[in-house]
Amino acid sequence: FKQEIFLRYARPNQNIQFIGLGKKSEMKLNRLREALILASAHAGRLKVPSLTLHLSSVGSFEDYTVKEVTQAAVESLVLPLYKFTPFKKEAKENSGVKTVTVAVDTAEELTEGKKGLEKAKLFIDSCNLVRNLVNTPHNALKAPDLANMAQDVAKKVGLKVTVFTEKELQKEGFGALLAVNQGSDIPPRFVILEHNSGKKELDTICLVGKGITFDSGGISLKPADSMETMKDDMAGAATVLGIMEMVAKLNLPLHVVGFMPITNNMPSGKATVPGDIVKSYLGKTIEILNTDAEGRLILADAVAYADKNYKPTLLMDFATLTGACVIALGEAGAGIMGTDQASMDKLKKLSCFTGDKVWQLPLWEEYREELKSDIADLRNIGTGRGAGSSKGGMFIQEFISSKTPWIHFDIAGSAFISKPTHRYYPKGATAACVRLVSEFLINWPHH
């Protein structure tokens, strides 16, 4: 797609859309985003090849600059146009919008608007990278493939990259990750991506993403209904890759390190079974009572490695972790929890700008009691049925120092949706939280 911005001047219009935005006193940026999403969809139905927004027509936003409003407008017009077609024999050429134009009134608006346009283009590219990866089926994106893709992105944008193979994971003691991989014929990978490597004077932010390329549930096999969507269980790792690409392109003055533990979760005669006890990277032992609670196992090793070796100023992890989060929040947003309240408050505020909805869930001490095992240090599922998302987050917390600020994102509902929404997303992958966390890092420090 081509996007432009220029000073407004008279030009003939074949189709003009008028969209009511409600009372000016109640005007919020999210309302503008949703209105422009509708405009983009309508233009697509009309097969209009180009779309122009006159920025002055949307009024002023006291809390946002021309740059920010332009960014929001371009994202809202372009993100809904995404289509995933690599596996179609005769993929139809997009007959809809190919050019998006934002027209402004003054030279000052032109300067600021161009900045917003460039930022939006970067965000859209990273979001579509994530969407493409998450939508790709398992037979085309196994653990080595995803690791290779991460290496390609790293080379393109100048990130330092390190990849652990199965042999190196065994040497390092990634017992929990290897236990999940035990039933598979496909070797695991652990990818480390680093921006501003060696710059010790900068704050260190660690991003860890769950990379289960397909989750059958293992021996605790999932029901067949909708199992095909379990290709999305690597959305956390894809999210980290998308954010790292953005960080590198923007050359943020931070030391940011991304971690992608990658494997599938398959049943076989050699697979881990319920009742097995494994030793994690941190040394804690885990009684595995349900092999379908595997994401927290690979994250346990990954966050422990990140925490021990990089001493982060803040550690964030991203995972399609629990069905409980989908039950609680549906597909509209992500659950967040953690120990850094100031950062979570900032994320909630920024979500009003990006449209990536998040909702904070509790980490009450009562849940910790349910993770205790009679014969190991921890069990990988709680003893009760309730609060599954919080218990999953609390399990991960067990592998991070109490001194390390930490936030967990459960994107199980929002990373991959079952039907199109009125927001940016056609059915499938959404790149949930990529823009939100990128904005968060751009605005660092915020305390």
Helix (H) or strand (E) holding 90: none
pLDDT digits (tens, 9 = 90+) for 383-426: 988 999 999 999 999 999 999 999 999 999 999 998 877 566 78
> Measured between alpha carbons, how far is 76 from 37 in angstroms, rounded to an integer?
5
Domain ranges of the chain: 2-121, 136-442
pTM over 0.75: yes
Question: Is 222 among the catalytic positions?
Answer: yes
Structural contact between residues 231 and 429, judged by C-beta atoms closer than 8 angstroms: no
Residue 58 confidence (pLDDT) = 64
Q: One fold for both 2-121 and 136-442? A: no
Which tokens in the block code for residue 99? 């050019």
Q: Backbone dihedral region of 251: left (phi > 0), alpha (psi from -120 to 50 degrees) or beta?
A: left
> Measured between alpha carbons, how far is 76 from 356 in angstroms, rounded to an integer?
12
Residue 53 confidence (pLDDT) = 87
- Angle at CA of residue 211, ends 263 and 244, nearest 5°: 135
Residue 393 confidence (pLDDT) = 98
Residue 60 confidence (pLDDT) = 66
Residue 48 confidence (pLDDT) = 83
Neighbouring residues of 417: CB distance < 8 A, sequence distance ≥ 6: 331, 425, 427, 428, 430
Radius of gyration of the chain (CA): 22
Residue 10 confidence (pLDDT) = 46
Cα–Cα distances in Å, from 54 out to 4, 103, 105, 106, 207?
A: 12, 5, 9, 12, 38
Residue 59 confidence (pLDDT) = 63
Of the residues 67, 119, 210, 296, only one is catalytic, namely: 296
> Measured between alpha carbons, how far is 356 from 340 in angstroms, rounded to an integer?
19
pLDDT digits (tens, 9 = 90+) for 291-322: 999 999 999 999 999 999 999 999 999 999 99
Q: Is the dihedral of CA 217, 220, 226, 228 positive or negative?
A: positive
Q: What is the separation of C-alpha 92 from the centre of its chain, rounded to a whole number of angstroms?
A: 28
**Before 445, cis peptide (omega within 30)?**
yes
Instruction: Report the relative pairing of strands 160-164 and 189-195 from DSSP bridges.
Output: antiparallel
Taking the domain 136-442, which CATH number applies?
3.40.630.10
Instruction: Report the relative pairing of strands 160-164 and 204-209 from DSSP bridges.
Output: unpaired
Instruction: Report the relative pairing of strands 204-209 and 255-265 from DSSP bridges.
Output: parallel
Residue 11 confidence (pLDDT) = 56
Neighbouring residues of 10: CB distance < 8 A, sequence distance ≥ 6: none
- Angle at CA of residue 158, ends 155 and 162, nearest 5°: 65
Neighbouring residues of 154: CB distance < 8 A, sequence distance ≥ 6: 160, 161, 193, 244
Specify whether domain 2-121 bears CATH 3.40.220.10: yes
Q: Is the dihedral of CA 237, 243, 248, 254 positive or negative?
A: negative
Instruction: Report the relative pairing of strands 378-379 and 357-360 from DSSP bridges.
Output: unpaired
The residue written with tokens 């944008």 in the block is 157
Question: Is 45 among the catalytic positions?
Answer: no
Residues of the chain with pLDDT under 50: 9-10, 447
Residue 447 confidence (pLDDT) = 43
Structural contact between residues 213 and 141, judged by C-beta atoms closer than 8 angstroms: yes
Of the residues 98, 222, 279, 308, only one is catalytic, namely: 222
Burial class (CB in 10 A: 0-12, 13-18, 19+), 165: middle
> Measured between alpha carbons, how far is 239 from 149 in angstroms, rounded to an integer?
13
* Greatest pairwise CA separation for the chain in angstroms: 76
Which tokens in the block code for residue 282? 């941190």
Neighbouring residues of 224: CB distance < 8 A, sequence distance ≥ 6: none
Which tokens in the block code for residue 119? 């930022």
To the nearest 10°, report the CA torsion of 372, 375, 377, 383.
Answer: -20
